[in-house]
């Protein structure tokens, strides 16, 4: 049992790392929004599962546990077929602006989804019909981000491959001159540390001051935050509330807003 608990508790970390690293490499000019959106949806997933299962399976806890075990696994396995690193060609300023605009649309959809969940949570108890309508609307909002790549695919001119573009590079350009390098220069190039933003090995990573600052920050901040979140249900019951799920949903929603804000602020203001 302890082995399965260890595997289940760390499975999200493995998936988060693969998705986060791949998306940051695919969108190097929008790393802040990418991390904010991905981590925001991870935080919002708690509220999504809680509200959907409360709306549809409030009287059947076994079904809730079954869906909680099966649905995330199916989603992760399906996503692995689409998750891969693609070569990032040099983009002109107009393409970068369009890419940034798409991420703003993703942020807007995510914020609408969070407000939708927040409105459902604070309005109290709901009837069966209203709960079903809420679940349908939530599923529609979850599928809405697919409209962004669909729009990008449709709006892309179909005749791009047929247009002959002028050649900007001269075929008679001089070949770059090669210079002899000494052994000392080669050793210097090999020992040069990668700068922030470049790939580091594990040894290079633990030698940097930035890594230890991040490590201590996560150790203190994430550890205490997870402790509070894991005990939120017990805290609600101790305060006398019969249904403590609203506390879990509200914590997830407001955590989402913090993650979205941290991604945008780090990209444009820091």
pLDDT tens sequence across 210-255: 889 988 888 887 778 778 777 877 777 787 777 666 777 777 788 8
* pLDDT for position 195: 72
Contact assessment for residue 34 and residue 99, using Cβ atoms and an 8 Å cutoff: no
Task: Tell me the C-alpha distance between 104 and 28, whole Å.
Answer: 16
N residues, the chain: 270
The pTM assigned to this predicted structure is: 0.72
Residue 135 has a pLDDT of 84
Distance CA 200, CA 193 (A): 9
d(CA 190, CA 192): 6
Q: Which of 15, 39, 18, 35 is nearest to 27 (CA)?
A: 35
Average pLDDT value for residue range 5-14: 74
């Amino acid at each position: 049992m302890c082995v399965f608990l260890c595997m289940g508790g760390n499975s999200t970390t493995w998936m988060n790392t693969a998705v986060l690293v791949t998306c940051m490499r695919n969108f190097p000019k929008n790393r802040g929004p990418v991390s904010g959106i991905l981590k925001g949806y991870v935080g919002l997933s708690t509220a999504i599962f809680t509200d959907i299962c409360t709306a549809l399976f409030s009287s059947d806890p076994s079904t809730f546990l079954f869906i909680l075990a099966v649905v995330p696994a199916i989603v992760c396995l399906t996503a692995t077929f689409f998750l891969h690193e693609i070569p990032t060609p040099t983009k002109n300023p107009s393409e970068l602006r369009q890419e940034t605009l798409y991420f703003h649309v993703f942020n807007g959809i995510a914020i609408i989804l969070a407000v939708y969940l927040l409105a459902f949570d604070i309005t109290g108890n709901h009837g069966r019909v209203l709960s079903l309508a809420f679940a349908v609307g939530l599923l529609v909002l979850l599928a809405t981000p697919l409209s962004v790549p669909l729009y990008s695919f449709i709006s892309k001119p179909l005749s791009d491959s047929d247009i002959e573009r002028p050649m900007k590079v001269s075929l008679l350009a001089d070949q770059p001159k090669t210079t002899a390098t000494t052994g000392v220069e080669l050793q210097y190039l090999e020992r040069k540390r990668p700068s922030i933003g470049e790939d580091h090995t594990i040894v290079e990573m633990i030698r940097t001051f930035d890594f230890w600052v991040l490590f201590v920050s996560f150790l203190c901040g994430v550890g205490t935050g997870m402790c509070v979140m894991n005990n939120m249900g017990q805290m609600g019951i101790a305060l006398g509330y019969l249904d403590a799920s609203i506390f879990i949903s509200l914590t997830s929603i407001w955590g989402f807003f913090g993650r979205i804000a941290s991604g945008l602020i780090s990209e444009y203001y820091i």
